[in-house]
Amino acid sequence: MSKGYWVSVYPAISGPEALTAYDKLAGPAVQAGGGRNLALFPARGGRIVAHEAGITERVVLIEFDSFEQAVATYESEAYQKALQALPDGFERDFRIIEGVD
Protein backbone atom coordinates (compact mmCIF):
# COMPACT_ATOMS: atom_id res chain seq x y z
CA MET A 1 0.00 0.00 0.00
CA SER A 2 1.39 3.37 -1.03
CA LYS A 3 1.75 6.16 1.48
CA GLY A 4 -0.22 9.36 1.10
CA TYR A 5 1.08 12.90 1.45
CA TRP A 6 -0.40 16.31 1.98
CA VAL A 7 1.66 19.01 0.33
CA SER A 8 0.78 22.63 1.06
CA VAL A 9 2.51 25.77 -0.14
CA TYR A 10 1.35 29.19 0.95
CA PRO A 11 2.36 31.65 -1.81
CA ALA A 12 2.05 34.67 0.46
CA ILE A 13 1.23 35.16 4.10
CA SER A 14 0.42 38.70 5.13
CA GLY A 15 0.23 37.79 8.82
CA PRO A 16 1.25 34.36 10.12
CA GLU A 17 -0.79 35.00 13.29
CA ALA A 18 -3.90 34.74 11.12
CA LEU A 19 -3.24 30.99 10.90
CA THR A 20 -3.38 30.44 14.66
CA ALA A 21 -7.03 29.33 14.77
CA TYR A 22 -6.51 27.00 11.79
CA ASP A 23 -3.33 25.52 13.28
CA LYS A 24 -5.04 24.80 16.62
CA LEU A 25 -7.76 22.80 14.86
CA ALA A 26 -5.76 21.27 12.01
CA GLY A 27 -2.96 19.79 14.14
CA PRO A 28 -5.19 17.53 16.24
CA ALA A 29 -7.28 16.59 13.17
CA VAL A 30 -4.16 15.49 11.29
CA GLN A 31 -2.82 13.55 14.28
CA ALA A 32 -6.19 11.82 14.76
CA GLY A 33 -6.02 10.75 11.11
CA GLY A 34 -2.55 9.29 11.57
CA GLY A 35 -0.65 12.09 9.84
CA ARG A 36 2.97 12.89 10.66
CA ASN A 37 4.55 16.28 9.95
CA LEU A 38 7.69 15.73 7.89
CA ALA A 39 8.33 19.37 7.13
CA LEU A 40 6.95 22.69 8.24
CA PHE A 41 9.07 25.56 6.97
CA PRO A 42 9.96 28.14 8.00
CA ALA A 43 7.80 27.91 11.14
CA ARG A 44 10.06 25.33 12.74
CA GLY A 45 13.30 26.93 11.68
CA GLY A 46 13.95 24.74 8.66
CA ARG A 47 15.66 25.98 5.55
CA ILE A 48 14.28 26.31 2.03
CA VAL A 49 16.20 26.66 -1.20
CA ALA A 50 13.77 27.64 -3.95
CA HIS A 51 14.58 27.14 -7.63
CA GLU A 52 12.85 28.33 -10.80
CA ALA A 53 9.42 29.67 -9.73
CA GLY A 54 9.86 28.27 -6.20
CA ILE A 55 8.26 29.99 -3.25
CA THR A 56 10.01 30.43 0.09
CA GLU A 57 6.92 31.09 2.18
CA ARG A 58 5.35 28.42 4.40
CA VAL A 59 5.65 24.85 3.10
CA VAL A 60 4.01 21.88 4.86
CA LEU A 61 4.57 18.16 4.13
CA ILE A 62 2.52 15.57 6.03
CA GLU A 63 2.84 11.79 5.60
CA PHE A 64 0.08 9.21 6.09
CA ASP A 65 0.35 5.42 6.03
CA SER A 66 -1.86 5.31 2.92
CA PHE A 67 -3.30 7.57 0.24
CA GLU A 68 -6.80 6.61 1.39
CA GLN A 69 -5.97 7.67 4.95
CA ALA A 70 -4.75 11.04 3.66
CA VAL A 71 -7.98 11.62 1.72
CA ALA A 72 -10.17 10.45 4.62
CA THR A 73 -8.41 12.81 7.03
CA TYR A 74 -8.96 15.75 4.67
CA GLU A 75 -12.64 14.83 4.39
CA SER A 76 -13.04 14.33 8.15
CA GLU A 77 -15.37 16.55 10.13
CA ALA A 78 -12.49 17.73 12.32
CA TYR A 79 -10.36 18.87 9.39
CA GLN A 80 -13.28 20.48 7.58
CA LYS A 81 -13.84 22.52 10.74
CA ALA A 82 -10.18 23.59 10.61
CA LEU A 83 -10.59 24.72 7.00
CA GLN A 84 -13.41 27.01 8.05
CA ALA A 85 -10.92 28.77 10.35
CA LEU A 86 -8.67 29.82 7.44
CA PRO A 87 -8.91 33.59 7.03
CA ASP A 88 -10.90 35.01 4.10
CA GLY A 89 -8.82 35.54 0.98
CA PHE A 90 -6.12 33.22 2.24
CA GLU A 91 -4.24 31.53 -0.59
CA ARG A 92 -2.61 28.10 -0.48
CA ASP A 93 -1.69 25.42 -2.97
CA PHE A 94 -2.83 22.13 -1.38
CA ARG A 95 -2.49 18.66 -2.86
CA ILE A 96 -2.95 15.08 -1.71
CA ILE A 97 -0.57 12.79 -3.55
CA GLU A 98 0.07 9.06 -3.59
CA GLY A 99 3.57 7.91 -2.84
CA VAL A 100 5.51 5.53 -5.06
CA ASP A 101 6.37 2.13 -3.63
Percent of the chain whose pLDDT exceeds 70: 91
**In the chain, what are the domains?**
4-98 (3.30.70.100)
pLDDT tens sequence across 16-58:
677 888 889 999 999 999 999 988 776 556 677 888 887 777 7
d(CA 40, CA 78): 20
CA dihedral sign, ordered 16, 74, 65, 6: negative
pLDDT at 96 over 90: yes
The average pLDDT across 50-70 equals: 88
Give the confidence band of 72 by pLDDT, cuts at 50, 70, 90.
very high
